[in-house]
Structure 1
Amino acid sequence: MMAPWRTAADAMRLAFKNPMNPVSHTYFGRAAAAGLEVFERATRRYGKPEFGLPETVVDGQTVPVREKIVWRAPFCNLIHFERSLPKGRTADPKVLLVAPMSGHYATLLRGTVEALLPHSDIYITDWLDARMVPLSEGTFDLDDYIDYVIQILHHLGPDTHVIGVCQPAVPVLAAVALMEADNDPLSPASMTLMGGPIDTRINPTAVNQLAEQRPVEWFRDNVIMPVPWPQPGFMRMVYPGFLQLSGFMSMNLDRHLVAHKEFFAHLVKNDGDAADKHRDFYDEYLAVMDLTAEFYLQTVQVVFMQHALPKGEMMHRGKRVDPTAIRKVALLTVEGENDDISGVGQTQAAQTICTNIPEHMRQHYMQPDVGHYGVFNGSRFRGEIAPRIVAFHRQHSRHSSPVKQIIKGGKSA
């Protein structure tokens, strides 16, 4: 519906920015071009962004990085950030970064990958947009998600460190608990859970309260819809990404409105650097993907309504998920002091329910002065959180001697 208007706005924007047009050198011309760009960007459907990490610095040397898909399934690709390193160099910790399936693409963790890449061999789950998966590929729910995590850990082999960022905290912990209960030799060396809803009864946020105020039938009737023609997933029932995005934006609507107002002002002033930063952030933030209806509804019910994992009632294909079975996997939990999506204490709850992990194999860290996204992105993540994760991985590698490292700042327990 908006496509013709967006096309016209983009054409007019180019006309007002054309240096051959005398109006482009006036305040009116710059304001018109700025307003048209704001309109075009506000009505655009954003495609999947690129990671855009062609190189990193290892041991003080710049080395090329190549993205390579090393494992495939109908709803997920596993991407390896393959670094070109000298032969014979001591291997870095092997890290599985489980990206959230919560409306955004895995590229939301670009900053996470970038910060860990100099010190780690990184793999990331690249979840596919449900509207792009044909119905013939079957369904995908929370049980399948847990199966995928286990299958990927088996694919990567021993001494892998797994990180669950936000939403994956629950399925990652469940997967590890199931592997430990089976005495799986390929269970990970460590598990890092960051800003995740392990127990949403603790300091419930607006997101948590919404889930508890309505029955699951309300969500099924009001936020689930079929994929339209001509998408490959035509007629698949999904929770559309734009609904999740609108929910996130409404939580901080004033901040987003101010950001777009400032973007307009930067364009009028020809402040290219500030405008580019706005474009980069919103190109990522506004790019959303659909979730399968069965995954979304099961997650809402099991995680946010029933609180099944912390109660010891979570089931996976008829088998109880028992966090007390985890004995040989080190646990690091990370939270942000101002997190308005996963409240303080919700992730730390993993330390409480995983009672049989030895004290020397567990650590909790709460980063002051950051919100939800600051837990896995930004300057404080790079300077305070990432070094702790790297040190934790090296300390708890099953084929390395412990590394003692003291990092100042923050609040550890």
Structure 2
Amino acid sequence: MLYHMYEATRMAIQPWRMGAQAVRNVATAPWSPLSYTPLGRQLSSATELFERVTRRYGKPEWGLDKTVIDGKDVAIEEETVIHRAYCNLVHFKREIKRNDPKLLVIAPVSGHYATLLRGTVETMLPDHDVYVTDWNDCRYVPMTADRFNLSDYIDYIIDFLHYLGPNTHVLAVCQPSVPALAAVAVMSGWGDICAPASMTLMGGPIDTRCNPTAVNTLAQEHSIEWFERNVITVVPPPYPGMGRRVYPGFIQLTNFISMNLDKHMLSLNELFDHLVEGDDEEADKKKAFYEEYLAVMDLPAEFYLQTVEEVFQKHSLPKGELMARWNPVKTEQITRTAILCVEGELDDISGVGQTRAALDITPNLPDSMKHYHLQKNVGHFGVFNGGRWRREIAPVVKGFIREHDHELGAKARKLHVIAS
């Protein structure tokens, strides 16, 4: 019923949105005297803000049609190389031949689309051959498709790494840090030659017992049955996935906003002021952020519930108790994949220490293949987007990847010996 109520509310508010648009048309029309008055600008700004906040946003475009390499523009072609029911593997093919490291960017299945990592991908494109997990909205996945849980997530990562082949590098942002580490552990136990050369884990809940946040506390205070009763619902018609049990994106978005309600209210007030003052540049920045932030997708119920139970309640991965399908996940088997852990000092979703735990549960990995970076003065989203990501974090990640790239690393070591 929860999803049906949401859809009914969305339909009920539609006449108000149309009315707001009509008022805005009058307040901005060149023939209207109102458009030349302060009141007109305020009405126009208020109605535009209302329309934007109440709009349902679809999946954003990546919009990455070029990058800059050696000071020259290089065209980018977005191609889907693997199609799956729940996820496509997207390749950002650069129109240039370079021997750059292959990088698999694993986006989270946490309510937002993979395009939330647009800034991450854009920064890595000049120096890497980038592939991204582009997750599909479950409301559009038909009931005839197989179910999707945490083991399936791990299987997807392993399959993608097999497709990309040896000497691939992994960058997992937030929640996929757990399935990424699990996949590498399983592949290492197999002696799989396609186990990645390096793995960068950013703001992920490897061990949520370390410095728990409000998100971790919520998961601990309620049983898995409580989550199933209160946040799991069924997709209504006319969506292709009707009848499928999901954790709806609108619930996740509500949770995200409620965690930082004061900041969002202030931000929207600033957007209103920019619109009234005609400060288009600043207003466009705010609009772009919220067009991405308010675009959400539904998650498979079985994946969400299993993640809550295994990651946030049982802490199965750091305890060595996690199972991926029939494979025990033993992180001590990781011996050849270098690991970089990146955390934000102000992260209120994955607290400081939760990602770094990956270095503690891989005792057989040499210290020379472990690295930790704590970024000062950034929160969760600042770890992988924004100015500090580009200026301070990305150079660390890029340097780590090149240091542990088997081909480039061998060349660098050879040149070092010759120079010596």
For normalisation by structure 2, the TM-score amounts to: 0.94
2:345 counterpart of 1:337:
yes
Q: Specify the alignment match of 1:255 in structure 2.
A: 263
Q: Specify the alignment match of 2:171 in structure 1.
A: 163
Worse-matched range after superposition: 323-332 or 391-400: 391-400
Q: Specify the alignment match of 1:317 in structure 2.
A: 325
1:70–1:80: 8 Å Cα contact kept in structure 2?
Answer: yes
Displacement after TM superposition at 1:179 (Å): 0.3
Q: Specify the alignment match of 1:408 in structure 2.
A: none
Q: Specify the alignment match of 2:138 in structure 1.
A: 130
Displacement after TM superposition at 1:403 (Å): 8.3
1:225–1:240: 8 Å Cα contact kept in structure 2?
Answer: yes
- State which of 19, 25, 35 in structure 1 corresponds to 2:36: 25
Alignment of 1:14-413 (within 5 A): 14-86=25-97, 90-401=98-409
Displacement after TM superposition at 1:53 (Å): 1.1
Partner deviation per Cα, 1:54-102 (whole Å, 9 max, x = no partner): 110112211011110011111000110111114xxx4101000000100
For normalisation by structure 1, the TM-score amounts to: 0.96
The letter of the residue matching 2:400 is F
1:351–1:362: 8 Å Cα contact kept in structure 2?
Answer: yes
* DSSP 3-state at the match of 1:70: strand
Gaps in structure 2 of 5+ consecutive residues: 1-11, 413-420
- State which of 6, 17, 25 in structure 2 corresponds to 1:6: 17
* DSSP 3-state at the match of 1:71: strand
Displacement after TM superposition at 1:49 (Å): 0.6
Measured in 2, the distance between the counterparts of 1:267 and 1:214 equals 43
Measured in 1, the distance between the counterparts of 2:114 and 2:208 equals 24
Gaps in structure 1 of 5+ consecutive residues: 405-413
Measured in 2, the distance between the counterparts of 1:175 and 1:162 equals 11
* DSSP 3-state at the match of 1:185: coil
Partner deviation per Cα, 1:276-327 (whole Å, 9 max, x = no partner): 1110000000000000000000000000000000011111113210000000
Displacement after TM superposition at 1:271 (Å): 1.2
Relative distance call for 1:33 and 1:328 in structure 2 (3 A) is same
Displacement after TM superposition at 1:267 (Å): 1.1
Measured in 2, the distance between the counterparts of 1:390 and 1:22 equals 56
Worse-matched range after superposition: 144-153 or 14-23: 14-23
Measured in 2, the distance between the counterparts of 1:142 and 1:63 equals 37
* DSSP 3-state at the match of 2:47: helix
1:190–1:331: 8 Å Cα contact kept in structure 2?
Answer: yes
Partner deviation per Cα, 1:321-347 (whole Å, 9 max, x = no partner): 000000010111100000000000000
* DSSP 3-state at the match of 1:77: strand
1:69–1:77: 8 Å Cα contact kept in structure 2?
Answer: yes
Measured in 1, the distance between the counterparts of 2:25 and 2:59 equals 24
Worse-matched range after superposition: 295-304 or 46-55: 46-55
1:395–1:403: 8 Å Cα contact kept in structure 2?
Answer: no
Aligned residues: 402
Measured in 1, the distance between the counterparts of 2:322 and 2:151 equals 11
Which has a greater percent of helix? 2
Displacement after TM superposition at 1:402 (Å): 5.7
* DSSP 3-state at the match of 1:136: coil
1:391–1:403: 8 Å Cα contact kept in structure 2?
Answer: no
Measured in 2, the distance between the counterparts of 1:314 and 1:274 equals 47
1:196–1:346: 8 Å Cα contact kept in structure 2?
Answer: yes
Partner deviation per Cα, 1:321-380 (whole Å, 9 max, x = no partner): 000000010111100000000000000000000111111111111101100001000111
* DSSP 3-state at the match of 2:93: strand
Displacement after TM superposition at 1:153 (Å): 0.4
Partner deviation per Cα, 1:127-176 (whole Å, 9 max, x = no partner): 00011100001210101000000000001111100111000000000000
Measured in 1, the distance between the counterparts of 2:279 and 2:162 equals 50
1:240–1:290: 8 Å Cα contact kept in structure 2?
Answer: yes
1:336–1:369: 8 Å Cα contact kept in structure 2?
Answer: yes
Measured in 2, the distance between the counterparts of 1:19 and 1:324 equals 69
The letter of the residue matching 2:137 is D
The letter of the residue matching 1:235 is G
Measured in 1, the distance between the counterparts of 2:52 and 2:66 equals 29
* DSSP 3-state at the match of 1:117: helix
Measured in 2, the distance between the counterparts of 1:383 and 1:5 equals 44
1:70–1:79: 8 Å Cα contact kept in structure 2?
Answer: yes
Structure 1 residue runs of 4+, over 4 Å off? Answer: none
Measured in 1, the distance between the counterparts of 2:320 and 2:261 equals 37
1:394–1:402: 8 Å Cα contact kept in structure 2?
Answer: no
Measured in 2, the distance between the counterparts of 1:403 and 1:217 equals 54
Q: CA RMSD in A?
A: 1.2
Measured in 2, the distance between the counterparts of 1:178 and 1:105 equals 27
Partner deviation per Cα, 1:34-66 (whole Å, 9 max, x = no partner): 111111111111111111111101122110111
